[in-house]
């Protein structure tokens, strides 16, 4: 009996030793595996970091190619345009590159169509596609810029008319539409907008403000020169830190926040294009102008010059409004639009 107990005790001792050995081995394997995983993770992080820095180098190189600061200096010496976007730091998290840099250009013969229709999701809007839509540097004419409006007017049934309301540079688009679709437009309303005459450019309307060194509009401008330093800018954006004082100085904070993250660069070629406006077409549409007295972008003095240079049928004034009456004085703007509609 005693021998049996001893034997059992010895067997237990061997078993415990084996268990400890197995546990130790498992622990070593787990630690080894953890070290390998940690090393792999570090390698992946190092590779990701290297790729990230490489992307930044590419982004800076492309920025230098398209937005060279020398372009701004060269055109400024000629009495041309101001700041270049090359002086603005890009987001490190998501470098903003022109859309044509994201993908290699396919052979046109290898694809059936290049026409995309972007359909937004529930609760979203057209704004969610802003990083995927047309590069503003590639819009080369007013007709191209105003095509969505032209397509809409062209699709209206015979005899149906609409009232067009244009704000800021949208006034040039409305003028363009008045010339091409006068029978589809009941009235045209220019809200603190360019209202050019025949053979005039939208740039000519804004030139005094754009070129005044003391003006907020000049100070906030950021031009992009995608076609090289010897050519005109291809796009115009505004310093985000200045947009509140420039466009929304009387607007609610929540609207300013929305606008500040939503504003996009403006294609500049359409701004430089002369409009052809005839009395037989453009001249047959009734025109109205809405003034914004507390406007820091298009000052009251400039708006008076616009009205005097191309007098509309009637002028309405939205008291206390900044450049964006749809934010700062929406009810007053609404009343003016309704009154025009009934006139």
Residues with a known catalytic role: 168, 295, 323
DSSP per residue over 100-119, as a string? GGTSPPPPGGG-S-------
Alpha-carbon gap, residue 63 to 94, rounded angstroms:
14
Residue at token pair 């040039």 = 172
Alpha-carbon gap, residue 207 to 196, rounded angstroms:
12
Going by C-beta distance under 8 Å and a sequence separation of 6 or more, which residues neighbour residue 281? Answer: 178, 179, 180, 182
Alpha-carbon gap, residue 263 to 270, rounded angstroms:
18
Closest among 203, 327, 319 to 262, alpha carbons compared = 327
Please state the length of the chain.
Answer: 343
Alpha-carbon gap, residue 284 to 186, rounded angstroms:
10
Alpha-carbon gap, residue 175 to 198, rounded angstroms:
10
What is the rounded (10 degree) CA torsion for 267, 268, 273, 277? Answer: 60
**Under a CB-based contact definition with an 8 Å cutoff, are residues 246 and 320 in contact?**
no
**Under a CB-based contact definition with an 8 Å cutoff, are residues 188 and 288 in contact?**
yes
**Under a CB-based contact definition with an 8 Å cutoff, are residues 179 and 312 in contact?**
no
Residue at token pair 């010895």 = 10
Q: Which residues pair with 334 in a beta bridge?
A: none
Q: Which residues pair with 289 in a beta bridge?
A: 190, 315
């Amino acid at each position: 009996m005693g021998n049996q107990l001893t034997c059992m005790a010895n067997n237990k001792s061997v078993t415990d030793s084996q268990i400890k050995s197995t546990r130790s081995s498992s622990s070593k394997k787990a630690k080894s595996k953890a070290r390998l995983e940690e090393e792999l993770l570090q390698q992946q992080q190092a590779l990701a970091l290297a790729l990230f820095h490489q992307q930044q180098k590419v982004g800076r190189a492309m920025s230098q190619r398209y937005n060279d600061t020398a372009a701004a200096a060269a055109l400024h010496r000629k009495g041309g345009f101001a700041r270049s976007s090359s002086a603005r730091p890009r987001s490190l998290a998501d470098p903003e590159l022109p859309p044509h840099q994201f993908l290699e250009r396919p052979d046109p013969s290898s694809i059936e169509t290049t026409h995309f229709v972007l359909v937004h999701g529930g609760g979203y809007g057209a704004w969610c596609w802003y990083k995927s839509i047309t590069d503003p540097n590639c819009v080369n004419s007013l007709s191209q810029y105003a095509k969505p409006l032209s397509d809409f007017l062209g699709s209206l049934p015979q005899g149906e008319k609409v009232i067009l309301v244009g704000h800021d540079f949208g006034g040039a688009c409305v003028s363009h539409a008045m010339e091409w679709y006068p029978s589809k437009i009941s009235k045209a309303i220019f809200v603190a907008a360019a209202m050019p005459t025949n053979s005039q450019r939208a740039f000519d309307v804004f030139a005094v403000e754009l070129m005044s060194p003391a003006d907020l509009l000049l100070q906030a401008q950021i031009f992009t020169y995608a076609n090289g330093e010897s050519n005109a800018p291809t796009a115009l954006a505004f310093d985000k830190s200045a947009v509140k004082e420039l466009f929304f100085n009387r607007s609610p904070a929540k609207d300013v926040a929305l606008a500040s993250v939503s504003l996009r660069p403006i294609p500049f070629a359409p701004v430089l294009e002369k409009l052809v406006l005839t009395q037989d077409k453009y001249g047959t549409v009734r025109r109205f102008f809405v003034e914004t007295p507390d406007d820091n972008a298009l000052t009251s003095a400039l708006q008076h010059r616009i009205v005097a240079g191309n007098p509309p049928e009637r002028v309405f004034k939205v008291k206390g409004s900044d450049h964006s009456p749809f934010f700062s004085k929406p009810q007053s703007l609404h009343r003016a639009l309704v009154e025009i509609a009934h006139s």
